[in-house]
Amino acid sequence: MNFVAPDFMPVLPELFVLTMTCLVLVVDVFLEQRQRHITYGLAQLTLLGAALLTLFTYAHAPVTTMFGHYVKDAMGDLLKLCIYLASAAVFLYSRDYLRRRDLFKGEYYVLGLFGVLGMMIMVSAHSLLSVYLGLEMLSLSLYALVAIDRDSPVASEAAMKYFVLGSLASGMLLYGISMVYGATGSIDIQLLADAVAKQGLGNPVLVFGLVFLVVGLSFKLGAVPFHMWVPDVYQGAPTSVTLYIGSAPKLAAFALVMRILVDGLGTLQADWQQMLIILAMLSMMLGNLVAIAQSNIKRMLAYSTISHVGFLLLGILAGTPEGYAAAMFYTIVYVLMAVGAFGVLLVLSRTGFEAENIDDFKGLNDRNPWLAFLMMVIMMSMAGVPFMVGFYAKWMVLQSIVDIGLVWLAILGVLFSVIGAFYYLRVVKCLYFDKPEDNTPIEMSRDTEVVISANGLLLVVLGLYPTALMSLCSTALLG
Amino acid sequence: MLALIILLPVLGAALPLWLQRRGRNACAWGTALVVTLSMILLLGLAPAVFAGRLVQWGLPWIPALGLNASLRLDGLGLLFGLLITGIGLLVVLYARYYLAAHDNLARLYALLLLFMGAMLGIILADNVLLLLLFWELTSLCSFLLVGYWHERGDARRGARLALILTAGGGLALLAGLLWLGQVAGSFELSTVLLRGDVVRSDPAYLGILLLILLGVCTKSAQFPFHFWLPQAMAAPTPVSAYLHSATMVKAGVFLLARLFPVLAGTEAWFSLVGGVGLFTLLFAAYMALFQHDLKGLLAYSTISHLGLITLLLGIGTPLAAVAGVFHIINHATFKASLFMAAGIIEHESGCRDMRQLNGLFKYMPQTALLAMVAAAAMAGVPLLNGFLSKEMFFAETVHLARLGEISLLFPMLATVAGVFSVAYSARFIHDVFFNGEPINLPRLPHEPPRYLRVPVEILVALCLLVGMLPSYTVGPLLAVAASSVVGTALPPYSLAIWHGFNLPLLMSTLALFGGVLVYSQRAILFRLHERYPPPVGQLLFAAGLNRLLDGARWLTGWLENGALQRYLALLVLAALLAGLVGLWPTGLPATVHPGPALNLLDLVFGLLLALMALLTVRWHERRLLALLAAGGAGLVVVLAFVRFSAPDLALTQLTVEVVTTVLLLLALRFLPLEMRQNALHRPWRDMLLALAAGLGVAALAWGVLNTAPQPALADYFLTHSLPGGGGTNVVNVILVDFRGFDTLGETTVLVVAALGIAALLAGGLPQPVAPAVVSLPRALLLQIGVRPLLALTLLMAVYLFLRGHNLPGGGFVAGLVAALALVTQYLADDFRAVTVRLTLHYPRYMAAGLLLIAITGALSMVLGYPFLTSTFVHVQLPLLGDFELASAMAFDLGVFLVVIATVLAILLGLGDPGREAV
């Protein structure tokens, strides 16, 4: 067969990350433990390089390449930039934590970079095949990352559960993909959309395909009732890995939903809307209700993630450009908050002490007022307190479903975010109103301090002036 | 200018913190300066407002959300603005002398300023969403101010309760305002206020009203959300006086007044707003009488008066609205002074319990006098401001004929509320200042410092002035404020003290005497109250919260018990349900394209497969048996492939099955022999679930088989296999030619995986539980048998390899077969013995295989074709006759080598752990 080389220019960032990751992998083998910072530096350099490449080639009109399996568009580029940013922060926050636990190994960064590559592929996928490839690349990296602390039985158990459940969900997703392919004869997202538009929902095979796709996607997002892995994995994994799982992959998962449900099966919106309503409702309910009862903050944040996913789904199920933009805004903002929250958690942990209970935040204001302030900002933003960016995120998604007439769902969302505010405020109460139980000074390296401060302040700045990010999101989806 | 009024206090909040080091007086002066500046700015705009102009200012902020920084100042805003800054100034002075030396004054001032900015934001906002932002900000400030003494448990609880209720109500309000904006077509009040007709006739009107009312009732402590206010009394008294009587709790009624032209005038408005107001008025007035805590009494009284204002606005007539606005002013003055007086009493005596506080008149006559005047204003005694607005209220209830026959009920209920209001005012005066001697007070009370009393004096003077000369003092302000509430020209009304003998006066007189009577007979009422206490909101709330927590814990335990089995079961169940829901509307597809007919053999195969799967699960505690059953299932699949004419697949499946079974057998040795027994009920549950899922998948497969196939890819490969790839075995041609690039990738992955596994195994495994090989004597027959078999099997492998391009076979299968031949040798004999004889260096073979594939591909590039282009020639071989030699064969050879080396590398690692495999 003739082989025509595709246009490699649009995939330049992916190629760069791939090459660099392989380089890091090889270089790391020849490094001594005390030189491990070179691996770290190279990993950050990779992200920086990819960011520059993406920035310089920022797409204004969509370009497809790799035989239609890959698309470069503004949504993808914006999400990718956010992924680099979030991952860079994750790598930085994790560094000292890993070092104190003898986990500062090349694997963390290599797997992390492979995960980033997987996310990039997911974000830019233009066929069900590349969607799946990217997803598995990310998932496999995550499974391994969870188990990176091999001596921890809790982490191994979490990894095992994650792997078994994740494989099952991947299988269902693949099943769905194969059925959609069977019904339409295409895996290219564009051709798929055309075929679906032509034949409509008369074909039950397509319906089943859709069902299984939604099941698979829900699992990856962590929406109820496919959320079971989230709390166990969040709690069981080393906090640095939880941070990784809880941040950038959410952006990729959002892209996944957008590519498959909106770009590919957009004409079936009426059908998946029903399913997403149920998922969103259950997620908001269960996430917020169960979070109240948690005393472990990693677990609490896991349930909080689940509830945030519920909110994010609200934007998507609205099925309007405004709704998608709102969901995208929500996702980006959520990642910013999650990175910050786990970042503070990582800073609080030290050799021989794992900060993971809400009580560990007691009296943080007396120990380090600045850190307490940042944590308060993050918690308030998560709770959706006005003048914090999290508030606008909630507002936008609620607005988008009010616009399509689902007022009852919006009211439900409001109700559960009130319940949600309860447990975030419990943390704030611990920060300010309680006496510290442990007065060990908090060590923080200079760069961590700078970045974590910027992270927290960004929530406030965006809270005062969210328009820039909002318009970025909406132009990315429209343009 | 308008923006500056808000920004000054918000930014000025930093000033006291900065001045902290220069002492408390500097702090107070700085704060007072900020407040005064803000007030002067406001007063500067007052002439324009009195002239009937609307002062406006705006900037776009977040246009995507319809949120603009647009402000307006009208009469209502001016009135509230003056209240906020004026009382704010007095509170600043009061707090300076109220707080103890060890309390952080600067923090209180900073928070108060921030709150003042937010409150001014509410009243000046033109954009309803902006209003909401400030609304929530006041809730936050209130949270921080109530929790000011955060080392006290009641302060923390009160703060949290206040925040949850008010901020939560605020979110409901957000929903309501969003909806309102959607219906009205704009979020700007200037536009919304003109669209009253549109909004009132919209079907969404009731929903909007309910949501907004939810926000109003939580903020203004209306029943059934009133209970946070008494709890918030844990705050320092300046905060209670300022936030929880004069300003913040008025935000709710302010919003009602603000939206009066849009929402008022309907039946729903009357019954909802009026009903809530009336009930709160009565209930809270009754409750206030029974409070022993001085501030608790004032809190319930505040709730009751807020109910009164709500009721007045709910009545919906212009006159009632005027009365409501008037009462807002009056209540702010007398209640703030009462709170401050209560604060003085607590400050000087260290106690707030009215059962201990008695006869204080002797000790602090001046304060007592002030408090008594203020309390009289609260009771509605003539010549004081409270009397005027109460009189207007009574007049309104008299003229209310909306309810037909039972309209008489309104004046009666109003009088009852008046009676209780007089009664608790009487208790405030009599219990505290007279009624015997103080009991067990922490310290002996005396008059407070001069400046602690000044704010009270000013406020009480205002009560008197307004009470006696209403038209000259408050008249113009009331007129301009009321007209911006009503929206149209004001009806004629008179602010005179004396209206002649009429029904309202009679009601006032009745209330006064009735109140005194009730107070004198209070012992009876107290006993009654103790025997039948009304359900207390906060207890219900706490119980509800506990119920919620218990529910959450139960849900966690049930859903997240940590067992993978539970998760898997739930996952499968959820997927199954989702599938069923998907199936519901359409049903199974009709037979479009009949699939292969079912015969008896297929059925037997199917049942056999199911049986094997069942046995695998059933025997899972005895791993060896389970493994055999799994192998059996694999063999049935092989048969199925044969049945459906896929010999190539069958062959591959067969060899893979055997190799994996052997590898698993070796791996089993490392697992513990003991297995935990399962709970009894679970197998049945799982069986049911598995059965359902299996049936679901079967139905699905049936559906897919019965739909018309797409123009199959297979046709393309079938037609192009021979001419393009030179082979008739399409599967093989696809592997080595059409998808050669993929195969190269897969082979590489295989090598990497093998190396990884070998490295892991070399890293050390636990001591195996069982030996790798059965002991020698019993395996003698096997040992003798396998030697000749080796040659035969290898020959078979070569045969399969050579014919692979055209007939079932190929490099992969051949590799597996050859590997099997070698595996048998290891199994039958001692591992080390074979290792000595078979000195294969596996990684080398892998490398060779990969290189071969790469070179084959690259060669075509050298010849000017794209990578991996294949070609073929026919050669005549002596024994075999015509033989086709395709370049793909070299490719296949690479695959062959890699497969053998991989299988053996893994096998050696497992069979002989600790050995240097690579």
- Residue B371 maps to a domain: yes
- Does residue A188 sit at the B interface (CB-CB below 8 Å)? no
- List the 342-361 stretch of A: residues with Cβ below 8 A of B: none
Give me the domain span that covers residue B575: 558-587+677-709
Query: What is the β-pairing status of strands A63-65 and A70-72?
Result: antiparallel
Local confidence band at B538 (pLDDT 50, 70, 90 cut-offs): low
Contact B167 A211 (CB under 8 A): no
Percentage of residues in chain B having pLDDT higher than 70: 88
Residue A432's closest chain B neighbor by CA? B150
Percentage of residues in chain A having pLDDT higher than 70: 98
- Which pLDDT belongs to residue B760? 78
Local confidence band at B726 (pLDDT 50, 70, 90 cut-offs): low
Considering only CB atoms, A402 lies closest to which of B172, B178, B586, namely: B178
pTM, 2 dp? 0.84
Better pLDDT: B911 or B797: B797
* Cβ neighbours for B90, distance < 8 A, ≥ 6 positions apart: B336, B340, B455, B458, B459
Contact B62 A466 (CB under 8 A): yes
Q: Which residue in B188, B394, B190, B373 sits closest to B308, CA to CA?
A: B394
Local confidence band at B264 (pLDDT 50, 70, 90 cut-offs): confident
- Which pLDDT belongs to residue A1? 44
- Which pLDDT belongs to residue A363? 84
Could you read off the pLDDT of B843-902 as tens digits, one per residue? 888 888 888 888 887 777 777 666 666 666 666 666 656 666 667 778 888 888 888 888
Cβ neighbours, 10 Å, residue B479: 18
Residue B773 in this model has a pLDDT that exceeds 70: no
Q: For B380-385, what is the mean pLDDT? A: 83
Residue B229 in this model has a pLDDT that exceeds 50: yes
Q: Which residue in A259, A302, A247 sits closest to A84, CA to CA?
A: A247
- Residue B548 maps to a domain: no
Query: What is the β-pairing status of strands B881-886 and B872-877?
Result: antiparallel
Could you read off the pLDDT of B397-420 as tens digits, one per residue? 877 766 666 777 888 888 888 888
Residues B582 and B499 placed together within one structural domain of the fold: no
Percentage of residues in chain B having pLDDT higher than 90: 4
Residue A421's closest chain B neighbor by CA? B164
Residues B580 and B600 placed together within one structural domain of the fold: no
- CA pair distance B230, B580, nearest whole angstrom: 53
SS3 B293: strand
- Which pLDDT belongs to residue B883? 61
Residues B329 and B468 placed together within one structural domain of the fold: yes
Considering only CB atoms, B137 lies closest to which of A2, A387, A429, namely: A387
Residues B378 and B259 placed together within one structural domain of the fold: no
Better pLDDT: B673 or B289: B289
Considering only CB atoms, A275 lies closest to which of B163, B559, B578, namely: B578
Could you read off the pLDDT of B882-892 as tens digits, one per residue? 666 667 778 88
Contact B171 A418 (CB under 8 A): yes
For residue B612, give Cα distances in angstroms to B299, B478, B641, B776: 75, 89, 17, 32
- Tell me the helices (H) and strands (E) count for chain A, helix number first: 20, 2
Length of chain A: 479
HEC string for B614-678? HHHHHCCCCHHHHHHHHHHHHHHHHHHHHHCCCHHHHHHHHHHHHHHHHHHHHHHCCCCCCCCCC
Q: Which residue in A160, A144, A152 sits closest to A101, CA to CA?
A: A152
Q: For A347-357, what is the mean pLDDT? A: 83
- Which pLDDT belongs to residue B916? 43
- Residue B724 maps to a domain: no
Number of domain units in chain B: 5
Could you give the angle at the alpha carbon of A324 between the alpha carbons of A321 and A326, nearest 5°?
A: 110
Q: Which residue in A226, A217, A315, A308 sits closest to A265, CA to CA?
A: A217
Could you give the angle at the alpha carbon of B353 between the alpha carbons of B359 and B419, nearest 5°?
A: 80
A364, A414, A477: which to substitute to probe chain B, counting the most B Cβ within 10 Å?
A414
- Which pLDDT belongs to residue B779? 63
Residues B434 and B409 placed together within one structural domain of the fold: yes
Contact A418 B150 (CB under 8 A): no
* Alpha-carbon gap: A205 to the closest alpha carbon of chain B (Å): 6
Task: Spell out which residues of chain A touch residue B204, defining contact as CB-CB under 8 Å.
Answer: 407
CA A223 to chain centre: 13
For residue B61, give Cα distances in angstroms to A467, B64, B129, B130: 8, 9, 11, 10
* Alpha-carbon gap: A349 to the closest alpha carbon of chain B (Å): 25
Local confidence band at B161 (pLDDT 50, 70, 90 cut-offs): confident
* Low-confidence winner among A194-203, A239-248, A379-388, B260-269 (lowest mean pLDDT): A194-203
Hey, which residues does B872 pair with through a beta bridge? B886
- Which pLDDT belongs to residue B517? 84
- Which pLDDT belongs to residue A167? 93
- Residue B881 maps to a domain: yes
Local confidence band at B725 (pLDDT 50, 70, 90 cut-offs): low
- Residue B552 maps to a domain: no
Task: Spell out which residues of chain B touch residue A231, defining contact as CB-CB under 8 Å.
Answer: 560
- Residue B715 maps to a domain: no
Residues B577 and B607 placed together within one structural domain of the fold: no
Considering only CB atoms, B703 lies closest to which of A205, A399, A474, namely: A205
- Which pLDDT belongs to residue B589? 53
- List the 193-222 stretch of A: residues with Cβ below 8 A of B: 201-205, 207-208, 210-212, 214-215, 219
Residue B54 in this model has a pLDDT that exceeds 80: yes
CB A434 within 8 A of CB A362: yes
DSSP 8-class letter at B60? E
* Crossing angle for the helix pair B385-399 and B294-315, to the nearest 10 degrees: 40
Considering only CB atoms, A161 lies closest to which of B567, B704, B866, namely: B567
Residues B410 and B460 placed together within one structural domain of the fold: yes
Q: For B586-601, what is the mean pLDDT? A: 61
- Does residue A417 sit at the B interface (CB-CB below 8 Å)? yes
- Residue B541 maps to a domain: no
CB B254 within 8 A of CB B118: no
Q: For A322-349, what is the mean pLDDT? A: 93
- Which pLDDT belongs to residue B411? 82
Could you give the angle at the alpha carbon of A96 between the alpha carbons of A95 and A102, nearest 5°?
A: 90
Q: Which helix (H) or strand (E) holds B886?
A: strand B881-886
* Alpha-carbon gap: B205 to the closest alpha carbon of chain A (Å): 13
Residues B226 and B291 placed together within one structural domain of the fold: no
Q: What is the DSSP string of B469-526?
A: -HHHHTHHHHHHHHHHHH-SPPPP----S---S-HHHHHHHHHHHHHHHHHHTHHHHH
Q: Which residue in A451, A460, A454 sits closest to A91, CA to CA?
A: A451
B11, B156, B570, B571: which to substitute to probe chain A, counting the most A Cβ within 10 Å?
B571
* Cβ neighbours for B878, distance < 8 A, ≥ 6 positions apart: none
Residue B918 in this model has a pLDDT that exceeds 50: no
Residue B686 in this model has a pLDDT that exceeds 50: yes
CB B241 within 8 A of CB B343: yes
- List the 255-314 stretch of A: residues with Cβ below 8 A of B: 275, 286, 289-294
Q: Tell me the longest C-alpha to C-alpha distance in chain A.
A: 73
- Residue B667 maps to a domain: yes
Local confidence band at A118 (pLDDT 50, 70, 90 cut-offs): very high
Q: For B782-793, what is the mean pLDDT? A: 80
Residues B596 and B507 placed together within one structural domain of the fold: no
- ipTM of the predicted assembly exceeds 0.95: no
Contact A429 B587 (CB under 8 A): no
- CA pair distance B486, B903, nearest whole angstrom: 89
Q: For B57-77, what is the mean pLDDT? A: 84
Query: Could you check whether the bond before residue B768 is cis, i.e. omega within 30 degrees of 0?
Result: no
Residue B717's closest chain A neighbor by CA? A1
Local confidence band at B764 (pLDDT 50, 70, 90 cut-offs): low
Residues B210 and B333 placed together within one structural domain of the fold: no
Residues B273 and B235 placed together within one structural domain of the fold: no
